[in-house]
């Protein structure tokens, strides 16, 4: 096999399971591909017989559907050393299938050669697998960023990605993939934006003072849990508005193409993204429950602190209500630059910081409480 398997849905890579099963059987079928394809190449020194199989399993590993017998479906004399493709019909894979959770499900799709043992080379090269996700979010991308997308020299520039919500729900979070490439932009500010329309531009939710976050997982998304849930239905657009002119390196998936859904605005109105085919890597997360983000949640009331004197010109003192020794002290300038980062200290010289007005942040479990001086 020469290319990975792709989503069994025509456009989406994931939709919330409870949204999918709320649709009529006809609407469900309209979301799914009628056919799929295996991309392959015979690397043997001469043409060879090739057999094809497809298997789809539910999250328990139980067989759901597929085609081809272990010793059948053989196509004789396939030419060698050229790129080939085998198209096959996709059966309905979701009749009465058990659910992993109320809003989530997954299927494992396996495409493989029936007679893979007849070929030389690595046996694993005759098989590709794909996890068909029906999780609690909508997505068009395949989860891997080939390049980054930037709005350069565009202060207050905006990007947006269009989604059709299949049933009324609430937006709980947005996941962004910020690519670690080029200059470090993790201290640049942006605002989360949600629109119901771009023309006229109608903002239904926004959150300012956000920064690009990175995860320690390859191809990992940063989840921005919203301060409040947002009721949504029909068409929505998710995205962000940057503050400065620096690009924020938004992940751009080159293996999918959602350009008709992607827009940017650098001051002259909204324009459809017409560069190379691809997809902005942003995902709306649905539901009204608290999301698990991998760290224990803390009560902000337990982590108050004061700064004295305030205003300050020289040494300042910190009084913390609570500390476990693992917190960080961060200082930002008014234009959003991180000017100091260290473990907690009780005293700090501020004359080195410019401008004079700064913000001190007390960070516990990646949550921040701020005080201005």
Q: What are phi and psi of 86, to 5 degrees?
A: -120, 120
- Measured distance CA(252)–CA(278) in Å, rounded: 6
Measuring CA to CA, which residue among 247, 78, 232 is closest to residue 163?
Answer: 232
Band of residue 98 on the pLDDT scale cut at 50, 70, 90:
confident
Q: How confident is the model at residue 362 (pLDDT cuts 50, 70, 90)?
A: very low
Tokens coding 239: 């995205």
H or E stretch covering 180: none
Give the span between the Cα atoms of 91 and 73, in whole angstroms: 17
Judging by beta carbons within 10 Å of its beta carbon (0-12, 13-18, 19+), is residue 85 exposed, middle or buried?
exposed
Burial of 364 (0-12, 13-18, 19+ CB in 10 A): buried
Query: Mean per-residue pLDDT for 74-83?
Result: 85
Which residues lie across from 71 on neighbouring strands? none
Decide whether 17-134 matches 300-372 in CATH topology.
yes
Q: Which of 44-53, 82-91, 267-276, 309-318 has the lowest mean pLDDT?
A: 309-318
- Checking if the pLDDT of 80 tops 90, the result is no
CA distance 166 to 23: 8
d(CA 65, CA 44): 31
At residue 10, the pLDDT reads: 92
Instruction: Check residue 13 and give its pLDDT.
Output: 95
Distance CA 361, CA 338 (A): 10
* Two structure tokens written together for 326: 């693992």
Q: Give the pairing of strands 328-333 and 338-343.
A: antiparallel
Domain 17-134 class in CATH: mainly beta
Domain definitions of the chain by residue range: 17-134, 147-286, 300-372
Residue 203 CA to its chain's centroid (Å): 22
Q: Which residue has 């989360």 as its token pair? A: 192
Q: What is the pLDDT of residues 161-205, one digit of tens each?
A: 999 999 999 999 999 999 988 888 999 999 999 999 999 999 999
What does the DSSP 8-state code read for residue 25?
Answer: H
Average pLDDT of 285-306? 59
| Cα radius of gyration (the chain) | 25
pLDDT in tens, 115-172: 655 656 666 778 888 889 899 999 999 999 999 999 999 999 999 999 999 999 999 9
Among 232-236, 273-277, 342-346, which range has the highest average pLDDT? 232-236
Least confident piece of the model among 20-24, 143-147, 323-327, 349-353: 323-327
CATH of 300-372, one of 2.60.40, 1.10.10, 2.50.20, 1.10.3680: 2.60.40
Q: What is the pLDDT of residue 311?
A: 65
pLDDT of amino acid 292: 44
- pLDDT higher than 60, residue 370: no
According to the model, what pLDDT value does residue 121 have? Answer: 60
Q: What is the mean pLDDT of residues 217-229?
A: 90
Burial class (CB in 10 A: 0-12, 13-18, 19+), 118: middle
Q: What is the pLDDT of residue 65?
A: 82
Task: Report the C-alpha gap between 109 and 7 in whole angstroms.
Answer: 9
The reply to whether the predicted model has a pTM over 0.75 is no
| pLDDT per residue as tens digits for the range 250-295 | 999 999 999 999 999 999 999 999 889 999 999 999 998 655 443 3
Cα atoms found within 13 Å of the Cα of residue 135, Cβ hemisphere only? 14
- 147-286 folds as Jelly Rolls (2.60.120)
Terminal CA-CA length for the chain: 61
| Rounded CA separation 140/278 (Å) | 10
* Per-residue pLDDT at 327 exceeds 70: no
User: Tokens at residue 131, please?
Assistant: 């996890």
- By the 8 A CB rule, do 282 and 176 touch? yes
Using DSSP's 3-state secondary structure scheme, residue 339 falls into strand
Q: What is the pLDDT of residue 198?
A: 98
Average pLDDT, the chain: 81
What pLDDT shows up at residue 150? 95
- What is the three-class DSSP state of 123? helix
pLDDT at position 266: 96
C-beta neighbour count of 245 within 10 angstroms: 14
């Amino acid at each position: 096999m020469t290319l990975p398997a792709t989503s069994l849905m025509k456009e989406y890579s994931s939709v919330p399971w409870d949204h999918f099963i709320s649709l009529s059987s006809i609407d469900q079928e309209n979301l799914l591909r009628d056919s799929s394809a295996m991309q392959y190449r015979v690397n043997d020194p001469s043409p060879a017989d090739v057999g094809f199989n497809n298997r789809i399993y539910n999250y328990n590993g139980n067989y759901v559907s597929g085609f081809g017998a272990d010793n059948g479906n053989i196509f004789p004399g396939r030419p060698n050393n050229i790129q080939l493709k085998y198209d096959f019909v996709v059966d309905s894979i979701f009749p009465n299938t058990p659910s992993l959770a109320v809003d989530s499900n997954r299927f494992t799709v396996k495409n493989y050669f029936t007679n893979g043992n007849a070929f030389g080379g690595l046996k694993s090269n005759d098989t590709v697998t794909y996890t068909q996700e029906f999780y609690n979010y909508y997505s068009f991308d395949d989860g891997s960023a080939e390049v980054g997308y930037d709005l350069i020299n565009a202060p207050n520039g905006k990007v947006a990605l269009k989604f059709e919500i299949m049933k009324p729900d609430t937006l709980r979070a947005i996941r962004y993939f910020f690519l670690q490439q080029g200059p470090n932009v993790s201290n640049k500010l942006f605002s989360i934006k949600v629109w119901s329309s771009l023309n006229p531009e109608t903002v239904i939710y926004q959150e300012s003072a956000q920064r690009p976050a990175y995860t320690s997982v390859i191809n990992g998304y940063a989840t921005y849990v919203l301060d409040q849930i947002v009721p949504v239905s029909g068409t929505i657009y998710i995205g962000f508005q940057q503050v400065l002119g620096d690009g924020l390196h938004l992940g751009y998936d080159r293996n999918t193409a959602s350009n008709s859904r992607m827009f940017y605005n650098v001051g002259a109105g909204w324009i459809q993204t017409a560069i190379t085919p691809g997809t902005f890597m942003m995902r709306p997360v649905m539901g009204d429950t608290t999301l698990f983000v991998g760290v224990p949640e803390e009560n902000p009331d337990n982590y108050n602190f004061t700064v004295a004197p305030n205003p300050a010109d020289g040494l300042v003192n910190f009084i913390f209500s609570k500390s476990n020794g693992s917190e960080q002290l961060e200082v930002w300038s008014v234009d959003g630059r991180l000017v100091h980062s260290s473990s907690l200290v009780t005293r700090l010289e501020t004359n080195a910081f410019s401008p004079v007005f700064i913000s001190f942040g007390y960070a516990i479990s990646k949550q921040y409480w701020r005080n201005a001086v």
